[in-house]
Amino acid sequence: MRKERIEVVENVGVSQSFYRLTLRSSFIADRSRPGHFLQMRVSESYDPFLARPMSICRVRRDLVDILYIVVGAGTRVLSSIKPGMKLDVWGPLGTIFTPMPKKKLIYVSGGVGVAPMIFLASQMPVEAFLFGVRTAADLLPLSELGIDKSRLHVSSNDGSVGEKGYITDVFDRLAKNMNPREYFVYTCGPDPMMRLIVKTAKEKGLSGEASMEEVMACGVGACLGCVMDTKRGRITVCHEGPVLPFDVLTW
Amino acid sequence: MVELTTKIGDLVFKNPVTVASGTFGVKDEFAPYFDYALMGGVITKTVTTKPREGNAMPRICETSAGMLNAIGLQNKGVEAFLKDVIPYFRSIDTHLIVNVAGKSAEEFAEAARPFSGEATVKALELNLSCPNVSGGLDFSKNALEAKKVIRAVRAVTTKLLFAKLTPEAENVVSIAEAVMEAGADGVSLINTLVGMAVNLREKRPSLANITGGLSGPAIKPIAMRHVFEVKRKLRVPVIAMGGITTAKDALEFLLVGADLISVGTANFINPMAAPEIVQGIREYLEKEGVKSVGDFRGTLKL
């Protein structure tokens, strides 16, 4: 593993809300698996101070894509970065999704949590890809998702795109007809969403993996700033996660 | 080649760069990034006699040029540390300094005792100043309490002892003087300052513990002042820490007289911070034509 100073190749808006940042690093590209994240300092100054954990969305040869929405100081600075500029980055970090090629795979994503789901779906079959957004502006075009339209289920809180409501309701409906021996669920999104997905999955006996989101400082398991209590005890989300099997979660 | 070796007591450090307690994981967290043997020493996360779960989440919060933390001394306890961490460092050519804490002088001694016979452990640092556990700060705000801890630990070990002090004592120099009198071999300056942040959107404190320890570049001037005053008035060995992020920061503390420096929060924003600082110090001294770090140390013009 190493820290690199990496060139930004592209940093463009890909929907009204989403940006895609492309970095050039064969070191990271060669080692990245779906679920991995990078620690990225968005500025050389001390403001913002901490690195930002960013899920890897896609790897293309020596290029690594990150997806983000501007939500705070870090992502605001990130959105102003021009191609050719360099960033301090270390990774890939954390645990990864387990490939389950023999199962029918359900992907449930919410908001920017869609990034690792896109990466995973680019390498595995897709039975259904669920994507919940707040509003139409948060949706990604099919070209960015890389998902067959017939497999895609979209919901929005305000009904401006897809079904009006929550993606958890879409999952509940689909889960009714899922045989636990045939299906496997991957999920990444806001905590409240994932809690409901995991709860439904457990009720139906469905196995799966979830990628946790947490504020982090180091990203390497050193600061103990991002711990969570699981059936394996108190673990660091950055190092012993972020991807965890449903049965380890106390949800 | 610039001579970087630094001697404290009988212990010779290959260079003056160490990593600060609580910022470098427990064992091998940074090993994927660089060889620990590049550093003069590693100061471990605080170890206590019994395992501690630490505080509730959220435990960290970004601030201007720094961060707040309230981890609460989460650790697996002395027994697990002896079994798991000590063997790991046995084959690594750097000085291991174990940081211990307790709720009383007796508990400090109990935590320190098992390390006194461990050849791998070169020194102990006593955390007299954790702001995130009840009573943690009291030991280094009060000279008598601080002395009691040092005497109790001194009685169970002949290892070098460093007392890690809070910058919040009324008179840090007098606390430093007290711990040296009681048998410490040096002081670590400074631990974090107590701070607080709130989340306006949620209308709650940003940390579950409400307050936390402020660290990072924001506190560097405060650390500088305390290192300067203790060195000038007492001339005792000092490990300097507080916002050291670059070789320039480290050199400034050496200029003021620090014997060793510790890279702390900077490890979180750059996993290569410590070896980069060693290299930066070497390059600077070479460029300046200074033969050894000893010739540079404490040459601040007043």
Query: How close does chain B come to A23, measured CA to CA in Å?
Result: 18
How confident is the model over A170-189, as a mean pLDDT? 97
CB of B275 less than 8 A from some CB of A: no
Phi, psi angle pair for A247, to nearest 5°? -75, -10
Contact check, Cβ <8 Å, A46/B30? no
Distances (CA, A) of B182 to A95, B123, B143, B243: 48, 16, 10, 29
Classify residue A176 by burial, with Cβ atoms within 10 Å: 0-12, 13-18, 19+.
exposed
Query: Residues in chain A, how many?
Result: 251
Is A207 in the same domain as A109?
yes
Distances (CA, A) of B166 to A130, A145, B115, B179, B210: 52, 52, 24, 13, 19
Contact check, Cβ <8 Å, B60/A217? yes
CB of A221 less than 8 A from some CB of B: yes
Query: How close does chain B come to A1, measured CA to CA in Å?
Result: 5
- Non-local (6+) Cβ contacts of A35 within 8 A are A55, A94, A95, A96, A97, A116, A119, A120, A209, A211, A242, A243
Residues of A in contact with B217 (CB under 8 A): 46, 49
d(Cα B253, Cα B259) in Å, to the nearest integer?
Answer: 9
pLDDT of residue B268: 98
Q: Which amino acid is at B98?
A: V
Is A111 in the same domain as A52?
no
In a domain, A148, yes or no: yes
Among B53, B15, B1, B2, which residue's Cα sits nearest to residue B258? B15
Domain count, chain A: 2
d(Cα B246, Cα B252) in Å, to the nearest integer?
Answer: 10
In a domain, A199, yes or no: yes
- Return the residue matching tokens 């211990």: B100
Among B209, B207, B71, which residue's Cα sits nearest to residue B127? B71
Give percent of chain A above pLDDT 90. 100
Query: Structural domain of residue A159, as residue ranges?
Result: 104-211
Query: How close does chain B come to A150, measured CA to CA in Å?
Result: 39
Give the containing element (helix H, strand E) for A68: strand A63-69
Is A82 in the same domain as A108?
no
Contact check, Cβ <8 Å, B60/A48? no
Looking at the DSSP bridge assignments, the partners of residue A228 are: A235
Classify residue A100 by burial, with Cβ atoms within 10 Å: 0-12, 13-18, 19+.
middle
pLDDT of residue B135: 75
Is A48 in the same domain as A85?
yes
How confident is the model over A137-151, as a mean pLDDT? 95
Torsion angle (degrees, nearest 10) of CA A158, A160, A162, A165: 10
Name which of A223, A230, A237 to mutate to probe chain B: the one with the most chain B Cβ atoms within 10 A of its Cβ.
A223
Of B58, B71, B245, the CB nearest to A224: B71
Q: What is the pLDDT along chain B (302 residues), one digit of tens a residue?
A: 899 999 999 999 999 999 999 999 999 999 999 999 999 999 999 999 999 999 999 999 999 999 999 999 999 999 999 999 999 999 999 999 999 999 999 999 999 999 999 999 999 999 999 887 877 777 889 999 999 999 999 999 999 999 999 999 999 999 999 999 999 999 999 999 999 999 999 999 999 999 999 999 999 999 999 999 999 999 999 999 999 999 999 999 999 999 999 999 999 999 999 999 999 999 999 999 999 999 999 999 99
Residues B190/B219, Cβ–Cβ less than 8 Å: yes
- Non-local (6+) Cβ contacts of B104 within 8 A are none
Q: Which of A93, A112, A129 is the last residue of a domain?
A: A93
Is A61 in the same domain as A127?
no
Is A51 in the same domain as A112?
no
How confident is the model over A169-173, as a mean pLDDT? 98
Query: How close does chain B come to A230, measured CA to CA in Å?
Result: 13
Residues of A in contact with B270 (CB under 8 A): 3, 41, 88
Q: How far is CA B285 from the centre of its chain?
A: 24
Catalytic residue among B130, B180, B227, B281: B130
Phi, psi angle pair for B144, to nearest 5°? -65, -45
Of A48, A215, A221, the CB nearest to B25: A221
Q: Can you tell me whether residue A89 is helix, strand or coil?
A: strand
pLDDT of residue A187: 98
Is A46 in the same domain as A71?
yes
Is A52 in the same domain as A87?
yes
Q: Any idea what DSSP says for residue A9? A: E
In a domain, A223, yes or no: no
| Fold exhibited by the domain B6-54+73-193+216-296 | TIM Barrel (3.20.20)
Q: Any idea what DSSP says for residue A113? A: G
Q: Any idea what DSSP says for residue A167? A: H
Q: Any idea what DSSP says for residue A80? A: T
- Return the residue matching tokens 């435990």: B59
Boundaries of every domain in chain B: 6-54+73-193+216-296
d(Cα B164, Cα B178) in Å, to the nearest integer?
Answer: 13
CATH code of the domain in which A8 resides: 2.40.30.10
Residues B48/B285, Cβ–Cβ less than 8 Å: no
Of B218, B267, B270, the CB nearest to A222: B267
Token digits of residue A25: 């690093």
Give percent of chain A above pLDDT 70. 100
- Which residues in A32-54 are b (16+ Cβ under 10 Å) and which e? bbbbbbbbbbbbeebebbbbbbb
pLDDT of residue B90: 97
- Non-local (6+) Cβ contacts of B142 within 8 A are none
CATH code of the domain in which A117 resides: 3.40.50.80
CB of B270 less than 8 A from some CB of A: yes
d(Cα A120, Cα A99) in Å, to the nearest integer?
Answer: 8
Q: Clarify whether B130 is annotated catalytic.
A: yes
Distances (CA, A) of B298 to A161, B42, B104, B295: 67, 23, 35, 8
CB of B93 less than 8 A from some CB of A: no
